[in-house]
Amino acid sequence: MNALAATNRNFRQAARILGLDSKIEKSLLIPFREIKVECTIPKDDGGLVSFVGFRVQHDNSRGPMKGGIRYHPEVDPDEVNALAQLMTWKTAVADIPYGGAKGGIGCTPKELSTSELERLTRVFTQKIHDLIGINTDVPAPDMGTNAQTMAWILDEYSKFHGHSPAIVTGKPIDLGGSLGREAATGRGVVFATEALLAEYGKSIKDMTFAIQGFGNVGSWAAKLIHEKGGKVVAVSDITGGLKNPNGIDIPGLLTHKDTTGKLANFSGGDALDPNDLLVHECDVLIPCALGGVLNRENADHVKAKFVIEAANHPTDPEADEILSKKGVIILPDIYANAGGVTVSYFEWVQNIQGFMWDEDKVNNELKKYMTRSFHNIKNMCQTHNCNLRMGAFTLGVNRVARATLLRGWEA
């Protein structure tokens, strides 16, 4: 089941649990605005090349819309729609004053030079500058984009609107980016894990962890779990996998990966087939890579007692049912990986105030938000007698529906 179908299904189930009016249910599903623009740029060799850029703005009842911009060859309108909608529920669960958006350009970044990427980003910004804004829609990096991309958008947007650091988040620190933003998603995953384990009278230091994906989120989560005394017994990424039942030396592995670019040949563990990571012996499994990795083929063989969804949509609905029957506790993506957008919100707040925080304040506020959200989700689970995924969805959908009704949506 693809991301859009799964998101819609979760939304409809939440709407049913909440007893939403069918008219408002339909209204919440339809995006506020979809934008599609043509971006033609001169290539370095003098020829012209055209790309299609787009932005889906899903809902703005709780505040400006927020979401990433991805540069990827298969930018599928359905997927972007699903991700924009997911951002609406995610920001509501985190209780930050945003709605959801998502966008991108259908291109292959590694086939473009830096100057071509810069021209493309600037043309895209010129085409959408009057449809985004500090109080309208605030983009952020996503697949294939980074802090440099955000710097170009900021510069191009500011030519039209005056200096506007709050127009994008995930910027370089020198241009008003926030301290702690880089580690935010991984750190949020760890705070979420602590909140969940505390419910069961456990803590990170009592548990073993397997982590799939060793990019930004996975490597930060591993580092912080290691620092808190947790044992990371297996990690994998596209280059390979590694296992050590006594716990992997994460700082050593990070140094090894920085030098060689891959996990293979690290002395502190044995090679592991990346496909076996998800069914590896551990207490807590953290998928931090792609969607749909837990499915009906492998769900039955998962040995973890807890699954923390650091990736977007890593568990498909069939796996969800199999794992639930086995008594595995799944902490849903819509909450577990909300650390990134929460610290993006802190960045936006700092830019608007023109007053920057130190890193400790950022991390302490993040912990406060993640812990409070978890307790709000648990309350919804108790009220509606449902699992954590539905607890999170009902919490998010209910907040957006309430805001919509309070604003007077029928007038």
Active-site annotation, residues? 102
90 is in an annotated binding site: yes
Chain position carrying tokens 């207490």: 283
66 is in an annotated binding site: yes
255 is in an annotated binding site: no
326 is in an annotated binding site: no
127 is in an annotated binding site: no
Question: Which residues sit in the known binding site for substrate?
Answer: 66, 90, 344
Annotated binding site: 66, 90, 185, 216, 344
Residue numbers belonging to the annotated binding site for NAD(+): 185, 216
